[in-house]
Amino acid sequence: MIALLLVAQVAVGAPRVAAPDTAQYASPALRALVSAAARVNHLVPAALGKYRARVESEISMGTRNGSGYEAAVSIEQTANELTWSRTGEFEQRVTGYRNQSLGFQISSLGFFRNAWTVPSLYGNRLALLFGRDTTWRRPGAAPSRRTTYAVHPLADDRDQYYRYTGGDTIEALKVGDREIRIVRIDVVPKADLKPGVTIFTGEIDLDADRKHVVRMRGAFQSVTQPEPALRRALSFSSQIEAIAFVELVNSEVNQQFWLPSFQRFDFQALAPVLGDSKAVFRIVSRFRDYEIVAPDAAQVLSTDTLRAQPHRLTIAPRDTLASFSDWRESIGTATAVSSAEDFADVAPLKWRSTGLPIWTVQGERLSDLVRFNRIEGLFTGAGVRVRARDALPGFSAQAVGGYAWSERTARGRISADLHRGDGTYGLRAGRSLDNTNDFAFALDSSGSPFAPLFGVDEFDYVDRTYAHGVAAYLSHDRAVRTRLELGYAHDRMVTPALTRGPLSSTAFLPNRPVSPGGYARTALLLEWHPDVAAEFVRPGVGGALSYRRGDGGLNYQRAELRLAARINSGRWTLASRFDAGALFGADRPAQQLFELGSTQNLPGYEYKAFAGDQAAVLRGMAMYRLNIWLAPIRLTERFWLPALAPALSVTAQTGWTGVSTAGARAMVAALAPGSATTGSARTTVAGGLRFFGGAVGVMAARAVDHPSPWRVRVQFGQIF
């Protein structure tokens, strides 16, 4: 994922192919509006000499999987002081820093050679991450190797690159006794641009009276050589695709100038061969406390504003960074409401839902292409996907298949989906190796594709053949997700094909029993704030309620509840997750029982030591950051570690399982030797120190419900 994120910072995707050029501007009135705005935008207002401002930025790394769930694995927050001059000089100085992370990561401060904030939207060129100011290079100046320049939609030479539509009033802002009309212009690149130029696709909002830019939202794209028609229709590319999305919002300062108030950059990278999963590198910045300085006489007389000068990024001394405490927002707040799908309407051609049909050779996830486990041994596969797009709007289909070489078994699936508004309707059929673990971590439903190579296979499996229909709904604000499945399934027992991993001498455990049989399958899932998971660093509160049942050869009903919360407040981080479930009905299939143990939410006990047809688990973590060693650690010019930032941490896990019938008790006993219910609740606690934003911990843990020694262990990730 880190590799994808690094690529996403410096690469941009292929451009959207514009319609044939029927007109440069949609109307003469729009031409006049754009021309007037371009004249105003060419130079900084005469009364603006320089400004100083404060900025709080949040930088997050994360992923979005093919099912649409997004998770943040690292968040860094910086406080910054900006100094900008109409002559083009600009400095962004980092004066405060703090971070949270799930795993050990390098600090993003080492990624940047220049300032990441854009000080103004005036000029002929926009510099991307970000190097120099928004204008042409001075005549004779050598081109920068570190700066990508995009043609400003209001540049003097704009007619070579863009077409314009819109120009209608979209909003009237009330500011005191004044009304400010905002007009929107839609910008698309012209057809047949020469490769090598970087262009903008999106929308520009203007102050209709003064013609200043109020907002830019869209994507920066680098024009590439056009692909042959066959390659566009059938893509075998495994090349990483990346694009930079932006939203740049200005606010009126002193009722005179439109200057930055909010900026968001999303760098998204996708490897088509791995499906629709994306790596997302996001920067959200908020500006405040402007101090405007009038120009001096020399600046007023000069017509050479916005000269191409480096945008300096400087870092305050370590003691300054470590002592900063004037944070305006809790860490995680700025990016918590963001989604990679916010820019779907301005995505590159291959990512969009409109255009010619596209066939792509890809899986839905990495494990579709290669995985290893004790049941299958090595599994290799391939997949193909078609998106009908304009031929049948909203329709897509996919087929994935492969072969388990040690088990000598073929598995795969086919699916077809139709998207209509906020709803998705589809069909699924296939043969899969599903794991039976309970209360799994977010994004962990498919297990680890490679850990068994090293002798770690912490899942039990069932061979399942299925066919069902799907109806899913995601609310417009992405706060509520519902899903209904109706169909048929057949479960079979599987036995390990391997006794140990090729890189380990540790023997694999036997696979736990499965109750075989076919059944009509019903599943209903309701999720609230589905992107919130206590085990990731995005703050918020979320939950899920599910109901599944089988009728026929296996008769059961199973209900589960999950509640999760994560809160950052000052030096405190609090995270908690509660899971509960019950299995009822005529049967208690072994694969539907709830199991708890060392890798199933109760560290300190044996692997899946407890089971039952009823279960509940409560997990929590409290972390209090000490106010020492808060500055990031610079090892080389481009390699920084996050701040050591030690924090006191306490975690606790409490779990309970029970049985409601004699049949369920017998099934629990048959799962494995010694398998039983917990009786009373079983609890494990741990305490110690965490470092690097919680990524590494030295913790002492013990079970408290029976005599048990303390065990000291090193943890990677915010395990609780």
Looking at residues 535-539, what average pLDDT do you find? 86
Which range has the worst mean pLDDT, 19-23, 99-103, 218-222, 309-313? Answer: 19-23
Residue 518's pLDDT is 97
Question: Which pLDDT tens digit goes with each residue over 128-165?
Answer: 543 333 333 444 444 444 556 778 899 888 999 999 99
Q: How far apart are CA 278 and CA 535, in angstroms?
A: 19
DSSP string, 270-339: E-GGG-S-EEEEEEEEEEEEEEEE---HHHHH----S---BEEEEE--HHHHHH----SS-TTHHHHT--
Residue 133's pLDDT is 39
3-class state of residue 395 by DSSP: strand
Which structure tokens are listed for 711? 């065990």
Question: Which pLDDT tens digit goes with each residue over 672-719?
Answer: 888 899 988 999 899 999 999 988 999 998 888 878 888 888 888 776
Query: How wide is the angle at C-alpha 654 spanned by C-alphas 648 and 655, nearest 5°?
Result: 150
Higher pLDDT, 403 or 133: 403
Question: Which pLDDT tens digit goes with each residue over 623-673?
Answer: 999 988 888 888 887 788 898 999 999 999 999 999 999 989 999 999 988
Residue 526's pLDDT is 97
3-class state of residue 108 by DSSP: helix
Query: How wide is the angle at C-alpha 277 spanned by C-alphas 219 and 477, nearest 5°?
Result: 65
Question: Which pLDDT tens digit goes with each residue over 12-50?
Answer: 444 444 444 446 899 999 999 999 999 888 878 888 889
Looking at residues 155-180, what average pLDDT do you find? 85
State how far the alpha carbon of 540 is from the alpha carbons of 263, 451, 536, in Å.
22, 31, 10
Higher pLDDT, 125 or 709: 709
Higher pLDDT, 561 or 86: 561
- Enumerate residues 6+ apart whose C-beta is below 8 A from 337: none
54: pLDDT strictly greater than 90: yes
Looking at residues 587-591, what average pLDDT do you find? 92
In sign, the C-alpha dihedral spanning 272, 529, 617, 672 is negative
Query: β-strands 90-101, 311-315: how paired?
Result: parallel
Is the distance from CB of 611 to CB of 671 less than 8 angstroms?
yes
Q: How far apart are CA 484 and CA 590, in angstroms?
A: 24
Q: Among 400, 401, 390, which residue's Cα sits nearest to residue 358?
A: 390
- Enumerate residues 6+ apart whose C-beta is below 8 A from 289: 53, 54
State how far the alpha carbon of 7 is from the alpha carbons of 12, 148, 313, in Å.
9, 14, 21
Residue 3's pLDDT is 45
Q: How far apart are CA 420 and CA 115, in angstroms?
A: 42
Residue 279's pLDDT is 87
Query: Residue type at 245?
Result: F
Average pLDDT along the chain: 85
Q: Buried b vs exposed e over 147-158: b needs ≥16 C-beta within 10 Å?
A: bbbbbbbbbeeb
Q: Among 281, 424, 484, 452, which residue's Cα sits nearest to residue 367?
A: 452
Is the distance from CB of 353 to CB of 390 less than 8 angstroms?
no
Q: Which residue has the tokens 């301005």?
A: 346
Question: Which pLDDT tens digit goes with each residue over 292-347?
Answer: 998 876 655 555 455 656 678 899 998 888 889 899 999 999 988 888 888 888 87
521: pLDDT strictly greater than 90: yes
First to last CA, the chain: 23
What are the domain boundaries of the chain? 2-351, 353-511
Phi/psi of residue 113, each to 5°? -95, -20
Is the distance from CB of 701 to CB of 686 less than 8 angstroms?
yes
State how far the alpha carbon of 262 is from the alpha carbons of 116, 259, 288, 423, 485, in Å.
13, 9, 9, 32, 42
Residue 44's pLDDT is 82
3-class state of residue 645 by DSSP: coil
Residue 127's pLDDT is 61
Which range has the worst mean pLDDT, 141-150, 239-248, 608-617, 668-677? Answer: 141-150
In sign, the C-alpha dihedral spanning 385, 390, 391, 393 is positive
Q: How far apart are CA 205 and CA 200, in angstroms?
A: 14
- Enumerate residues 6+ apart whose C-beta is below 8 A from 247: 215, 216, 217, 262, 263, 264
State how far the alpha carbon of 605 is from the alpha carbons of 9, 578, 580, 595, 668, in Å.
44, 19, 19, 12, 17
Question: Which pLDDT tens digit goes with each residue over 540-554?
Answer: 999 999 999 999 999
Instruction: Report the share of the chain in percent with pLDDT over 70.
Output: 87
Which range has the worst mean pLDDT, 6-20, 247-261, 438-452, 691-705? Answer: 6-20
Q: Among 343, 33, 344, which residue's Cα sits nearest to residue 185?
A: 33
Which structure tokens are listed for 54? 């404060």
H/E run at residue 8: helix 2-10
H/E run at residue 544: strand 540-552
Residue 229's pLDDT is 54
Reported confidence tier of residue 482, pLDDT bands at 50, 70, 90: very high
Residue 142's pLDDT is 44
State how far the alpha carbon of 293 is from the alpha carbons of 86, 205, 254, in Å.
10, 26, 12
Is the distance from CB of 123 to CB of 133 less than 8 angstroms?
yes
Looking at residues 187-201, what average pLDDT do you find? 86
